[in-house]
Chains A and B, each alone.
Chain A
């Protein structure tokens, strides 16, 4: 009864999060600006001497150029996932924000979609800022600062939705360590972020291609360095289906948890 309807009202939930974000944006902007500098300094300057050129999508790239889009994709994942896990959990459990919203004409679906849309917005902002820094360093194509927006939003919805689904099932905030350790960290390391998946043994490559982050990294590489090893439409389709599926799962889990 508090559900079954989705309207533009989810934007009000999105706006609420924007409103609170305005207080802390100066701190939040620092991470995407500084993080790529750290990684490029550590890996680019430190490692590239040992690595040389990386063969990828039929061409060769220097190491910093190769990892730059991977870092952007990882930032999309982290911004969305941490928003709908830790931050959404605080709103749901400690601040009772959703209980307050459910006493207004908002439906549970709208609240959850608003949360996911907000998480995706954070991914977009982080991806654009990061791409800006990387473009100044000459590591990504400058126009990709803008072109990355739809990809960042799609990636944000995908990881925001899966995060919110986990939040709907998590009994305690400490428990988020588990999905971070079991999903986020392995994905960060094995999704082709730091090496081309095509160089892996067949079985390991197949496993990596099952990860959503792999496909997000692929889309970022297409846009930011103009090369890829997996069909772009395939990666986009994978992420669209993944995002839709987990949005449904998230709403369902939250309904079971909140509506008593």
Chain B
């Protein structure tokens, strides 16, 4: 595989915490790769090491085949980073934000202006060209951050929770834009909390927790492997149901007042479950990535 990102045994220690604990993964050219995990799992720390912001405590990071420790400047010139926080310049207008940022990459102003107006068109921001950043809505600001991350025509785009806090319209618009970038062959590495987003965008993803990778694979494969094809949620489960589940060895989670069953595709038990146990307070639905996520990382609150 022609790896754009190649991470091996990556470790990041802060004073007394190990935030990233031996991660290894690779992202191929043109791939959309997701980094999923609960808050504090080490996603952002991992990403910060990938774009050369924070030095790894151990292990290696290679981007475009180059070592980030020695070739950080070359690597950074070829990637685009979209931070979780808004790092736009509130003192500048929308288009000035793009021009100034292009300068950091050493692009001449004329080139910067051409690319800026192209990107503003693409992200439906042309009408806000001369507006102050402070006057933009959350969705528009996010689009501008993404536009800014693309000003150097990066081969690798790193997105840290690109749609957090956006309304559904803005989120869908952003997904559309990312998908049309995919058609241009860009490689994307993203972190997200939205399983729907990961399932829709990612070719491959890892779910991580406590600085370690729990599973890796394509979203559909992970769902089939860890959450079956269907999920049956039964409120106030009877003893009879519990016994049945145990004797049949069904994959399930018992939450006390609720029983969640993971039923594989074409299971012979489907009919029995549906007619005998799925009466009231019962939902029957397709399995999702969220089921996988909750099964692997647990349901308790993190913060």
User: Do A and B share a complex?
Assistant: yes
A28 at the interface (CB under 8 A from B): no
Complex alpha-carbon distance, A16 and B96, angstroms: 10
Instruction: Give the residues in chain B near A104, CB-CB below 8 Å.
Output: 76-77, 101, 104-105, 152
Chain A residues with Cβ under 8 A from B68's Cβ? Answer: 1
Contact of A2 among B53, B85, B87 (CB under 8 A): B53
Overall SS of chain B's interface: loop
- Residue in B closest to A23 when the chains form the complex, CB atoms: B91
Cross-interface CB contact of A103 among B14, B53, B89, B106, cutoff 8 Å: B53
Interface residues of B in 80-94 (CB under 8 A from A): 81, 83, 85-92
Task: Tell me if A95 and B87 are in contact (CB < 8 A).
Answer: yes
Contact A19–B92 (Cβ < 8 Å): yes
Interface residue B123 (Cβ < 8 Å from any Cβ of A) = no
Chain B residues near A20: list those with CB within 8 A.
Answer: 89, 91-92
Q: A104-B76, A105-B77 are in contact. Are A12 and B86 (CB under 8 A)?
A: no
B270 within 8 A of A: no
Residue of B with least CB distance to A107: B73
Partner of B96, one of A2, A19, A102, A106: A19
The chain A residue with its CB closest to the CB of B152 is A104
List which B247-300 residues lie within 8 A (CB) of chain A.
Answer: none
CA distance A20 to B81 in the complex (A): 23
Q: B65 contacts the other chain (Cβ, under 8 Å)?
A: no
A-B interface contact total, Cβ < 8 Å: 73
- The answer to whether residues A96 and B76 also contact, given A20-B89, A103-B53, A260-B14 and a CB cut-off of 8 A, is no
B128-151: CB near A (< 8 Å → 1, else 0) gives: 000000000000000000000000
**Among the listed B76, B86, B100, B152, which residue makes an inter-chain contact with A16, where contact means beta carbons less than 8 Å apart?**
B100
Residue of A nearest to B56 (CB): A1
Any B CB within 8 A of the CB of A259? yes
Q: Is the CB of A9 within 8 A of B106?
A: yes
Interface size on A, residues (CB 8 A): 25
* Contact of A2 with B52 at beta-carbon distance under 8 Å, contacts A95-B89, A103-B81 already known: yes
Q: Kindly state the separation between the CA atoms of A260 and B52 in the bound complex, as whole angstroms.
A: 11
Residues from chain B with a CB closer than 8 A to the CB of A12 are 103-104, 106
**CB of A194 to closest CB in B, whole Å:** 36
Q: Roughly how many angstroms separate A2 CA and B51 CA in the complex, as a whole number?
A: 10
Set of chain A residues within 8 Å of B81, measured between Cβ atoms: 103
Q: Is the CB of A105 within 8 A of B85?
A: no
Asked if A100 is at the interface of the complex by the 8 Å CB criterion, the answer is: yes
CB distance from A3 to the nearest CB of B (A): 9
- Distance to closest chain B CB from A88 (angstroms): 13
**Measured CA separation A259–B88 after assembly (Å):** 19
Distance A16 CA – B100 CA, assembled complex (angstroms): 6
Nearest 4 Cβ contacts at the A-B interface: A100-B87, A103-B81, A104-B104, A20-B91
Beyond the given A100-B87, A100-B101, could you list 7 further A-B residue pairs with CB under 8 A, ordered by the A residue number? Answer: A1-B52, A12-B106, A13-B104, A97-B89, A102-B53, A103-B53, A105-B104
